[in-house]
Structure 1
Amino acid sequence: MNVLQNIKTGIILLALVLLHTNLVQAHTIKKVCTHDEPFKVYCDLCGCATSSGSFGFGTLSNANFVGVRYIYQNFESRNGIFENSPTSKESFNTYQLWAQIPINKSFYVSANLPYQDLTRNFNNVKENINGLGDASVIGWFKLPFYKKQNTDKVDFNIEREASGHSLQFGLGIKLPTGKFEESLADNINPGFQVGTGSVDGIFSLGYNYGGDKYGVNTLFSYYLKGENKNDYQFGNQFSYATNLYRAFATEKMNIMPFVGVSGDVYKKITQYGETLEDTDGNILNASIGSELAIDKFIFGASYTLPISQSLFGDNVESKQRLSVYVNFAL
């Protein structure tokens, strides 16, 4: 019920902002999807083992922004090896402040500060934990590619024409700003935590192509997990994501529907130097969504369902994921 109320509130706020924007913006909107600003996706890590690192950190419309995002995920965990074993139903609500800030033409920084609200229902007993999650900061270097110049004639125009292709290299850190509760470590779903309590490294490599109408992006990220003060260490994580979008531009707005696939591979958790069995896994997802850009406001939503998964000895099942956001382009 709280999830539905949160979604309804978000829809109302989006509608109010859209109405206000249409009333005060009467001029033609600049084209927001260009060869120089293709769709960028960045990994976001909320600090939970089963929370995907592949659900994106960026927008289709503009490379630089500040904004808020809401993510809903739900899981079902089976406490036992039999089909009729008792199950735990878990809902993860994440509220994020996120941004991408330019340093210069080649360097930029992305940052994310989440608030977690997690609920679990097991044997008709409801449990809730909430609080600040793990913040992350990533520094990025962009390497654009340019069209080949014609060597048969002299061109005094020193401005090279972008091809639309580019590579991104990211190096970042996740901070232990979220609380890790050791009493929850024995849960079937170890992701039921607001934070990991550890300092983690983030290494990313991305490829983007942005054309006038179509664009594609691919991102690979590796999370090197650290050990927290409780001698508990989440397994290292590899995440990947690919998205294809189509831009429809009008005089006052850009609409960009997209489809994509993403996934995560989790290594086993260790505690007190020993590897814990059935704590690794993998998941492959399919996503569909759209984005609406009106002047400097960017509104987006996506819906994700698993294609295949094997999480924590097949005892944890991811059901679905919903994400909505509102950004202001810089």
Structure 2
Amino acid sequence: MIRFLGLILLCIGPNLFGMETDSITKPGRFHFQSMALGKCDACGCSASGGSMGFGSFLTSRFVGVRYIYQQYSSSDGLYANSPWYKESYNSIQVWGRIPVFKNAQISVLAPYHFNSRDTETGSHSIQGIGDITVLGLYKVVQTKTDTTFFAHTVQLGAGVKAPTGTYDALNNGSINPGFQLGTGSWDYLFLIEHTVKRKKFGLGSMVNYVVKTVNDKGYRFGNQFNYASTLFWLHEQNDFSFSPQLGLAGEVSASNYQYGQEVEKTKGNILFGRIGFETALKKFSLGMNALLPLSQDLTGGRVDAKFRLGVNLNYSL
């Protein structure tokens, strides 16, 4: 029921909370940018951090560094008293949104992962470069504050994730097949972003879909649908900006396949509550976000997501 309400909020939110923004993006000016989700397996992190996203709400053109921490626990579920083991996913990412011409941007995300998990025989860890993602975005709607009561921005995007991260087939025999540095496959992303604003209040919403292909080991992670809706408030004074944020974010993953056969208990869904803020001084901005699960069903209940934390430092272009 909670996940269903979250989907309703995503669909009707822009109409209920529609709001106002600067009419045209100006270099060096801070304004809200709808956030696109990453493409991470819902029961792990072989990619970018899922609901942490690809963009900043405070500036539309930037380069920066982001750190994401995720914690899970997993169990084989064979017995009522089967032990649960801790899994930690860390990612340091170089990311940015770079303008290429009017109404068009390129979004790039290059992660480095260092992940660990406890097992019956001790701790196991992996680290290395993850899968690099490149997205192209085009602004199809931009209303002006002097022509409408509510200001809307709509962007469409598509992109590709390259298999630059190491994929280890042995990890797929574990409870959580998402314990990888990369999927080992070329994956394709399609997204829609919508930001609507009125004075200091606004709502950013998005949906995206990730098509995953078979890697050279005959394994294919399930396609994933991501959605999010975040309510924000913006205070600006001279070169200083501050914005608290509150919202929902979710991920729905289909089953994985190996050699064309469905792998049981690999699909999943999760809905997060999200709270955070962004603040900026001149061209530098700092953001922090926490995601706490409200409902989840991952790998048939064998994986339990605990929380996600993200911190980013950006420089506005």
TM-score > 0.5, shorter chain as reference: yes
Q: CA deviation at 1:49?
A: 5.4
Alpha carbons of structure 1 residues 224 and 308: separation in structure 2 relative to 1, 3 Å: same
Larger Rg: 1
Question: Structure 2 regions of 5+ residues with no counterpart?
Answer: 1-20, 25-30
User: Are positions 1:177 and 2:177 aligned together?
Assistant: no
Structure 1 CA distance for aligned equivalents of residues 285 and 144 of structure 2: 30
The amino acid of 1:34's aligned partner reads D
- Partner deviation per Cα, 1:130-187 (whole Å, 9 max, x = no partner): 00000100101112243699xxxxxxxxxx7895202111110000000000111111
Distance of 2:311 and 2:279 partners within structure 1: 11
Aligned mate of 2:151, from 164, 182, 190 = 164
Aligned position for 1:102: 99
- 1:243 shift after superposition: 0.5
Of 85, 106, 111, the residue aligned with 2:108 is: 111
Q: How far did residue 70 of structure 1 move?
A: 0.1
After superposition, where does 1:1-330 map in structure 2 within 5 Å? 34-36=22-24, 37-45=31-39, 50-51=44-45, 52-123=49-120, 125-146=122-143, 164-330=151-317
Assess if the C-alpha contact under 8 Å between 1:196 and 1:228 holds in 2. Answer: yes
Q: d(CA) in 2 for partners of 1:176 and 1:49? A: 19
Shift of 1:252: 4.2
Whether the aligned pair in 1 keeps the contact of 2:37 and 2:53 (CA below 8 Å) is yes
Q: Percent identity?
A: 38
Paired positions, count? 288
CA distance in 2 between partners of 1:283 and 1:48 (Å): 7
Aligned equivalents of 2:54, 2:199: Cα separation in 1:
22
Name 2:14's counterpart in structure 1: none
Closer, same or farther: CA 46–269 of 1 in aligned 2, 3 Å? closer
TM-score, normalising length from structure 1?
0.83
Taking the aligned partners of 2:280 and 2:121, their CA distance within structure 1 comes to: 44
**Offset of residue 288 of structure 1:** 0.3
Report the residue type matching 1:172 in the other structure: G
Structure 1 window deviating more from structure 2 (177-186 vs 123-132): it is 123-132
Q: Secondary structure, in 3 states, of the residue corresponding to 2:170?
A: helix
Task: Tell me if structure 2 keeps the 8 A contact 1:45–1:136.
Answer: no
Tell me, what secondary structure is at the counterpart of 2:51? Answer: coil
- Cα deviations across residues 281-330 of structure 1 (Å, max 9, x unaligned)? 10000010011110000100011100000000010010000000000000
Structure 2 Cα separation of the partners of residues 85 and 113 of structure 1: 37
* Structure with more contact order per residue of length (Cα contacts < 8 Å, sep ≥ 6): 2
- Give yes or no for contact 1:218–1:241 (8 Å, CA) kept in 2: yes
Partners of 1:238 and 1:174 lie apart in 2 by 15
| Structure 1: runs of 5 or more not aligned | 1-32, 150-159
> What is the TM-score when the length of structure 2 is the normalising length?
0.86
The alignment yields a C-alpha RMSD, in angstroms, of: 1.9
